[in-house]
Amino acid sequence: MPLQVGDQAPDFTLRDGTGQQNVTLADFAGRPLVLAFYALAFTGG
Amino acid sequence: MQGFVEAYDQFVALDTQIIGVSVDPWPAANAFAGSLGADFPLLGDWPLNRVSKAYDVYNEERYVAGRVTYVIDGSGVIRAVIDEPRDMERHSRDALAAVRALTG
């Protein structure tokens, strides 16, 4: 069951596309963020 | 993710960042972003699937993240949840509508 509208989004840390730096939720404070989960690279959707 | 690639400019116009997340190691996610021509990052939630688990989208049987899109406002509050495993077009379309409602 995914999180619900009105919930606080959990903090997250992900490695960026260079593999060298982290991307966190706080990086996007003040503007909207779309977090789109999908199954695997090179699959549909 | 193709829908987000096609709608990307509209999200940018609304000062909105898109991030795609999968359980892939970052080089695979990166390669996929390149093949899609995505101008936004696809990041790898690997190897512990922590983010997928924190957002309650991790599928323990298939070892992948489910197809769920969250729209998060500038205060970190979830403002839309698109939980749709089949109609992929709905993710970008509904997310864009939610962002418009936020920023309108």
A20 at B interface, C-beta within 8 A: no
Within a domain: B103: no
Q: What's the domain range around B87?
A: 2-96
> For residues B104 and B101, what is the distance between their CA atoms, to the nearest angstrom?
5
Within a domain: B61: yes
Q: Which of the residues A38, A42, A43 would you substitute to probe the B interface, choosing the one with the greatest number of B C-beta atoms within 10 Å? A: A38
Q: Do B18 and A40 touch (CB under 8 A)?
A: no
- ipTM of the predicted assembly exceeds 0.95: yes
* Edge-to-edge strands, sheet with B68-72: B42-44, B17-22, A33-37, B68-72, B78-83
CB B63 within 8 A of CB B45: no
**Residue B5: its pLDDT value, please?**
97
Q: What's the domain range around A14?
A: 1-45
* Closest Cα in chain A to B85: A45
Q: How many angstroms separate the Cα of B40 from the Cα of each of A2, A10, A41, B56?
A: 23, 21, 14, 23
pTM value?
A: 0.96
> Distance (Å) from the C-alpha of residue A42 to the closest C-alpha of chain B?
6
Going by their DSSP bridges, the two strands A13-15 and A22-24 should be labelled as antiparallel
CATH number of the domain within which B29 lies = 3.40.30.10
Question: What percentage of chain A reaches a pLDDT higher than 90?
Answer: 73
Furthest C-alpha separation in chain A? 33
Within a domain: B101: no
Chain B contacts of A11, Cβ < 8 Å? 54
Question: Mean pLDDT score of chain B, rounded to an integer?
Answer: 95
Closest Cβ opposite residue A41 in set B22, B69, B73: B22
Domain total of chain B: 1
The H or E element containing residue B103 is: helix B89-103
- Region B61-89: what's the mean pLDDT? 95
> Distance (Å) from the C-alpha of residue A25 to the closest C-alpha of chain B?
8
A22 at B interface, C-beta within 8 A: no
pLDDT > 70? residue A45: no
Q: Report the helix count and the strand count for chain A, using DSSP H and E.
A: 0, 3
Single out the residue of A1, A25, A19 nearest to residue B24, CA to CA: A19
Within a domain: B84: yes
